[in-house]
């Protein structure tokens, strides 16, 4: 446990995990902060956790408790019948219309480019990408960019962005505490930030409920507040057709905003970090993108060189390097037991099974002896690899519900 905390403080926790795998094999167990863990990068075990024994593993009560003050019990933390119900309700809302109009995001991308100096001075792009990703996700989810001041709330987008960062960081701290969360000191910054984020979200929830009223009555008159049915497909309006509880609507909205913004910002930062050191590759991608112009879905699907770059960035620097599942009953994984790790391993109820995609994606036996190197061209010959070898969006029934979002938004920046 002490070694893990030291590695985390030194920002080398993922390297520490890889060292442990080299020492103990592709599956090993540990006890950290009162929690029993099984860490694995074994393909058969991953398939078992995510698919074959899907019903034996949950997101877990610790995730629900950690996220409860900010986003409640939504899709990323729900389990059992509630998870199935939410997944079935939200999946139709992620229709193709959400991703088909790329010109809709052009102004926000132009605004991002305007904030980057053109005098060759140094700039940290990560904060810009984070704010930009929030803007894009907000337009996708409730048809309004956070980049503009909201007179109904009387606060700038900067305040919301800062509060949203604090909420996300607080959620992660609470999650890492595990069973020890009740011992955590009161975090007033986290509480205040949750309040700001909730107040902001409530504005858009109210508009969505007004739209729901219009939709239910099919009235010709505009609903209160002047909220008209949108010509564009709007995620929040769509789910408001099935949910009339304001708090639940807000939780879904903020949960999706949290996932969509954090993950997109991380991917953009990774891509630009890599490309900034490869000017020739950047120039090739840039010329191809200029030639295509505003893309359609076929353009994105057929832009092999860019897709290879994105795949390689997600392989080396996965947005979620660890996926956790909690065993809801005594169960078993096919490999990891016995003196050679080739026998089944018992997984007691309450154990946290950790799928380590960072280590998985760097396995030399799967990706070659150059697995630690950035080589996007490798993807030209990796199209027929085992499905469980590459998991940037998880796998099985819980696979990322909005994974198409990454394709279109990442594309527009290159």
pLDDT value at 400 more than 70: yes
Provide the β-strand partners of residue 353. Answer: 38, 325
Here the tokens at position 258 are 């949290």
Q: Mind listing the pLDDT tens digit for each residue in 140-180?
A: 888 777 754 344 444 557 788 899 999 999 999 999 888 88
Mean pLDDT of 357-382: 95
- At 254 the pLDDT is 93
> How many Å apart are CA 22 and CA 16, to the nearest integer?
10
More confident residue, 82 or 159: 82
pLDDT value at 411 more than 80: no
DSSP letter at 155? B
More confident residue, 264 or 405: 264
> How many Å apart are CA 245 and CA 381, to the nearest integer?
49
Here the tokens at position 320 are 């979620």
- At 412 the pLDDT is 43
- At 7 the pLDDT is 64
- At 321 the pLDDT is 95
Mean pLDDT of 241-266: 90
Q: Mind listing the pLDDT tens digit for each residue in 190-231?
A: 999 999 999 989 988 998 888 887 777 664 455 455 445 555
- At 68 the pLDDT is 96
> How many Å apart are CA 107 and CA 282, to the nearest integer?
22
> How many Å apart are CA 102 and CA 298, to the nearest integer?
13
State whether residue 30 is helix, strand or coil: strand
Burial of 119 by CB count in 10 Å (0-12 exposed, 13-18 middle, 19+ buried)?
Answer: exposed
Matching residue, tokens 């910002």: 265
- At 232 the pLDDT is 60
pLDDT value at 306 more than 90: yes
pLDDT value at 406 more than 60: no
Provide the β-strand partners of residue 354. Answer: 39, 324
Mean pLDDT of 35-51: 96
pLDDT value at 66 more than 60: yes
Task: Give the chain's count of helices (H) and strands (E).
Answer: 18, 7
* Least confident segment among 61-65, 86-90, 137-141, 390-394: 137-141
Mean pLDDT of 47-56: 97
């Amino acid at each position: 446990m002490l070694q893990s905390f030291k590695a985390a403080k030194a920002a080398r926790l993922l390297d520490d995990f890889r060292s442990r795998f080299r020492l103990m094999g592709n599956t090993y167990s540990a006890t950290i902060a009162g929690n029993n863990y099984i860490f694995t990068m074994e393909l058969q075990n991953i398939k078992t956790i995510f698919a074959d024994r899907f019903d034996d593993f949950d997101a877990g009560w610790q995730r629900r408790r950690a996220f409860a003050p900010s986003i409640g019990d939504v899709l990323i933390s729900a389990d059992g019948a509630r998870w199935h119900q939410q997944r079935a309700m939200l999946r139709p809302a992620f229709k193709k219309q959400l991703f088909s109009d790329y010109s809709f995001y052009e102004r926000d991308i132009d605004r991002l480019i305007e904030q980057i100096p053109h005098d060759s001075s140094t700039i940290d792009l990560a904060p810009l990408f984070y704010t930009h990703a929030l803007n894009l996700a907000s337009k996708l989810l409730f048809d309004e960019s956070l980049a503009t001041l909201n007179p109904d709330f009387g606060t700038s987008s900067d305040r919301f962005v800062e509060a949203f960062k604090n909420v996300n960081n607080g959620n992660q701290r609470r999650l890492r505490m595990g069973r020890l969360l009740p011992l955590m000191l009161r975090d007033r910054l986290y509480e205040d930030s949750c309040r700001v984020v909730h107040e902001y979200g409530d504005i858009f929830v109210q508009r969505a409920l007004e739209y729901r009223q219009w939709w239910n009555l099919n009235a010709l008159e505009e609903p209160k507040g002047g909220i008209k049915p949108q010509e564009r497909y709007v995620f929040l309006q769509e789910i408001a057709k099935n949910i009339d509880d304001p708090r639940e609507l807000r939780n879904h909205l903020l949960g999706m905003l949290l996932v969509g913004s954090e993950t997109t910002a991380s991917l953009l930062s990774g891509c630009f970090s890599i490309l900034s050191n490869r000017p020739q590759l950047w120039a090739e991608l840039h010329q191809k993108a200029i030639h295509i112009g505003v893309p359609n879905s076929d353009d994105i699907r057929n832009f092999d060189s860019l897709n290879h770059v994105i795949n390689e960035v997600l392989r080396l620097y996965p947005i979620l390097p660890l996926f956790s599942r909690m065993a809801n009953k005594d169960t078993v994984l096919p490999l990891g037991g016995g003196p050679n790790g080739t026998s089944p391993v018992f997984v007691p109820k309450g154990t946290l099974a950790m799928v380590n995609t960072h280590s998985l994606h760097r396995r030399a036996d799967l990706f070659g002896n150059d697995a630690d190197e950035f080589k996007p061209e490798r993807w030209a010959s990796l199209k027929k690899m085992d499905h469980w070898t590459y998991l940037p969006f998880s796998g099985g029934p819980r696979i990322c519900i909005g994974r198409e979002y990454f394709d279109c938004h990442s594309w527009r920046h290159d």
